[in-house]
Amino acid sequence: MTYNSKDKLNTFHLTGSLGVSVLLALLTGSWVVFLVMSFLLVGSSLLTGEIRIPDHRYKR
């Protein structure tokens, strides 16, 4: 399977968001912080367009 630049950027943003969430959770020692921060960071990346959901509609 080949990955284009959009896939690589999506992976980078997702990994970065989860990495920041893990660091904050380790500092606070709380799973709740991990879940909340993961939801907020990934959600905000989706809303701002940093993570793009693939469009599977056929283009004519």
DSSP assignment of 25-52 equals HHHHT-HHHHHHHHHHHHHHHHHHTSS-
CA–CA separation, 37 and 41 (whole Å)? 6
Predicted pLDDT of residue 2: 77
Predicted pLDDT of residue 58: 65
Predicted pLDDT of residue 59: 63
Predicted pLDDT of residue 55: 78
If the chain, 60 residues long, is cut into consecutive pieces of 10 residues, what is the mean pLDDT of each piece? 86 95 97 97 95 76
CA–CA separation, 60 and 32 (whole Å)? 45
Range 34-37, long-range pairs (CB < 8 A, 24+ positions): none
